[in-house]
Amino acid sequence: MLRRYRYRLYPTEDQKTLIAQHLGCCRFVYNWALNRKNQAYHDEGISLSKYDLMKQLPALKAELPWLKEVNAQSLQQSIHHLFRAFTNFFEGRAEAPTFEKKRAPEQAFTVPQAYAVDFERGTVKLPKIGAVKVKYHRTFVGTTKSATVIRTSTGRYFLSIVVEDGRTPPPPADPVPDQTVGIDLGLAHYAILSTGDAVENPKYLRNAQQRLAVLQRRLARKQKGSKNRNKARLKVARCHQTIADQRQDFQHQLSSRLVRENQALAVESLNVDGMVKNPSLARAISDAGWGTFLAMLAYKCQEAGKPLLRVGMFEPSSKTCSVCGYRKADLTLKDRAWTCPDCGTTHDRDLNAAINIKNFALAGAERAEEPVDSLPMGRGMKQEAPCASGG
């Protein structure tokens, strides 16, 4: 089973320069390959393969000798990443690849092999960079695959290592109804469980909005290109990073607890990308980070051998009485509670939805046991997570 471990890197100033050089060269090769592929398609009507472009790399390095100063395999990986981006595009998982920007908030390059992890000394030896100090907060056992060096917008550095640990995830057990919990994600509460438990929404972005607005106004007043503007930019970026770290820690703790305490989970599939197009709710939905949370539940259930059941996003979970099955077609988003005209039961909207999500999922368990749609975890993940089969 492939797992990804992420550690904090502490490079020296000289090593930061070498890392920046690798980032720049890998970005250049990525953009060069994208341009060559686009030109060949538009001018000649041919589609260059990954290996067609890799065969052109030696000539490019002869023309631009500074490309020889970085790890050759990292340059090849840039082309590999480009073609993985095209695969995601053609399979409908992402937009078409675009040119990478020099000032992108987060940048990375990959070392596929020839690096050495040293837990005792707390270092990782990277080709053309040397031994870099690492904070190994946990060790691992297995065969190391690729390593990715990441630089964030706040100037922090991370090492992300893919490891084959030799384990096979256990097959999911059949769901036990009285040990299955339905989860309704929302904004007033982050989650309502079919047991009646409510998880408060921490609203990290909203709580930091005033502080963030002050920092952004200060940034807007700074002269472009000045050192003071860069300092102000870093303060804004660090504020955003703190919000992201808090949200991620909350999601990890909640998802781990739900998987640990229940035999099976039932969730509603959500089209988060479509939901954030609602201008009045976009910020709150983005702050909730439902997509990342569902992805955490998916891989943690897989590791634990527990079923993650799902129901379609168009199932009338809120409008259906969980007692008698009556469907209230005229229920609106403003209605937080309603009384069933058929059986007289008064429902809390979100609790009723959570109960129905559980019931719908169990009723169609054979169909619902497919895993939740894979969603990107993002480079901000601190805990280890299984890797997608694409790399």
**Bridge partner residues of 288 (DSSP):** none
- pTM for the model stands at 0.79
Catalytic position from the list 14, 106, 174, 184: 184
> Which sign, positive or negative, has the C-alpha torsion 112, 129, 5, 117?
positive
Q: Which residue has the tokens 């703790």?
A: 253
385 contact partners, CB below 8 Å, separation of at least 6: 3, 4, 296, 299, 377
Q: pLDDT > 90: what percent of the chain?
A: 68
Annotation marks residue 197 as catalytic: no
What pLDDT score does 70 carry? 96
**Whether pLDDT at 368 is above 50:** no
Contact predicate 372/308, CB 8 Å: yes
Q: Which amino acid is at 238?
A: R
Annotation marks residue 184 as catalytic: yes
**Whether pLDDT at 94 is above 90:** no
pLDDT in tens, 203-261: 999 999 999 999 999 999 999 989 999 999 999 999 999 999 999 999 999 999 999 99
pLDDT in tens, 178-219: 999 999 999 889 999 999 999 999 999 999 999 999 999 999
Catalytic position from the list 287, 315, 350, 384: 350
Question: Rounded to whole angstroms, how far apart are CA atoms 94 and 293?
Answer: 19
Annotation marks residue 268 as catalytic: yes
**Bridge partner residues of 135 (DSSP):** 8
What pLDDT score does 383 carry? 42
What pLDDT score does 378 carry? 35
Catalytic position from the list 268, 287, 315, 384: 268
Residue 351 CA: distances (Å) to CA of 178, 182, 379? 16, 9, 33
